[in-house]
Amino acid sequence: MKVKELLLNKNFTLLTKNSDTEIQINDVYICDLLSWVMSHAGNQCAWITVQTHTNIVAVAVLLDMACIIIPEGIGVEESTLKKASEENLPILSTNLSTYEIASIIYESNKNVTK
Amino acid sequence: MIINIHKTSYEVASRDFIRSGDASKSIKKTLNQMGFASQLVRKVCIATYEAEMNIAIHSHGGEIILIVDDYTIAIQIIDRGPGIANIEQAMKAGYSTATNEMIEMGFGAGMGFYNMQKCANVFKLESKKNEGTKIDMIFYIECNED
Ligand SMILES: Nc1ncnc2c1ncn2[C@@H]1O[C@H](COP(=O)(O)OP(=O)(O)O)[C@@H](O)[C@H]1O
Ligand SMILES: [Mg+2]
C-alpha cells in the first residue's frame, strides 16, 4: 500500500510537511536500536519506532524508507519533524500499537505483488 | 590510463545529534548523482553512518573524507581523540561504552564496527589512547554492481 492509502485510515496522522506520500510501503520494520535497524531494515519499509529524536530522520533517509510511524500516541520533537519535512520523509503518528499497525499494512499488502 | 578523482570532506561535531547523520546523507546524494548501484550506495551509507555516529558519540569531533576514483569509493575517518585503548575489545560485536543516555536514544548497540566491517571490502582501524582514531574503508565499485 502507499503511504497516502494508510493515511485514509483515521487512526493515522501525518505530522510532516511536503511529504512524499505516493511512495509504496513494501515492508514493516520494528526496532529501536539504530545500528540494528541500519543493518537489517529493507528499502521502502514503514519503520515503527518509539525513538523520536532527529537522528531517526538520517536513518530513514539513508535506507530509503517509505515512512516512520510513531506508535501509541507518543509525541515527536518539532526539530525532528522539521528535518523530516526538509527530506520529504513522512512521519506518521497513531494511537495504535506496533502489532495493530503491522497488521493493517500486512492485510493491505498480502494480496498484492510488490 | 585516466583516473578521475572526486574528493570532499565533512566536519562532524561531538555530541551534535541534530546534525549528526548529515555528512552520511550528503555522501549518499553525491554517490547517487554519480550513478552508482543502489546496493553499493547502501553499503557505503551504512558504514559511513556508523563511523559518523561514533565521532559524534565517542570522540571530541572529527572529519569524514570521501574519495572516489574509477575503481573505488574510499571513506576516511579522522577524529581528535580520545582514542581507543583496547581495539580488539572495541571491535567485538555487542561491546559498547555508550552511556545510559545514549542507549535510551537507541545508540550503543555495539554493532558499529561490525556493520562497518560487513559493508566495506577493506576496513582498517588505527587508534591509540589519548590520540585520535583513524579509519580507512574501501568499497570496490566493480564487485558491488547490481
Ligand atoms: N571514534 C571513537 N573514539 C573513541 N572510541 C570509540 C570510537 N568509536 C568507537 N569507539 C569505542 O568502541 C566501542 C564500540 O563501537 P561500536 O562498535 O560503534 O559500538 P557503539 O558505538 O554502539 O558503542 C564504543 O562503545 C567506544 O568505546
Ligand atoms: Mg557506534
What DSSP line would sit under B29-98, residue for residue? HHHHHTT--HHHHHHHHHHHHHHHHHHHHHSS-EEEEEEE-SSEEEEEEEE-S---S-HHHHHSTT----
Delineate the domains of chain A, giving CATH numbers in brackets.
Answer: 3-113 (3.40.1390.20)
**What pLDDT is attached to residue B143?**
66
Contact between chains at A55 and B20 (C-beta distance less than 8 A)? yes
**What pLDDT is attached to residue A114?**
54
Contact between chains at B109 and A33 (C-beta distance less than 8 A)? yes
Mean pLDDT by 10 residues, chain B (146 residues): 89 95 98 97 98 98 97 98 96 96 96 97 97 97 70
Parts of chain A with a pLDDT under 50: none
Residues with CB under 6 A from ligand 1: A 35; B 50, 54-55, 57-59, 79, 82, 84, 90, 95-98, 107-113, 133
Query: Cell numbers of B61, please?
Result: 569531533
Classified as helix, coil or strand, A91 is strand
Q: How many CA atoms lie within 13 A of A8 on its CB side?
A: 8
**What pLDDT is attached to residue A104?**
98
- Looking up cell 555516529 gives B53
pTM value is 0.96
User: In what helix (H) or strand (E) does residue B136 lie, and over which residues does it extend?
Assistant: strand B133-140
Beta-strand ranges (E) seen in A49-109 are 67-70, 91-94
**What pLDDT is attached to residue B130?**
93
Contact between chains at A62 and B22 (C-beta distance less than 8 A)? no
* Of B28, B49, B105, Cβ closest to residue A53: B105
Ligand 1: distance of its center to the CA of A85 in Å? 31
**What pLDDT is attached to residue B142?**
84
Classified as helix, coil or strand, A102 is helix
Q: Chain B residues with CB inside 8 Å of A36's CB? A: 109, 111
**What pLDDT is attached to residue B4?**
85
How many contacts (CB atoms, under 8 Å) link A and B? 67
**Spatial separation of the C-alpha atoms in residues A88 and A21, rounded to whole Å:** 9
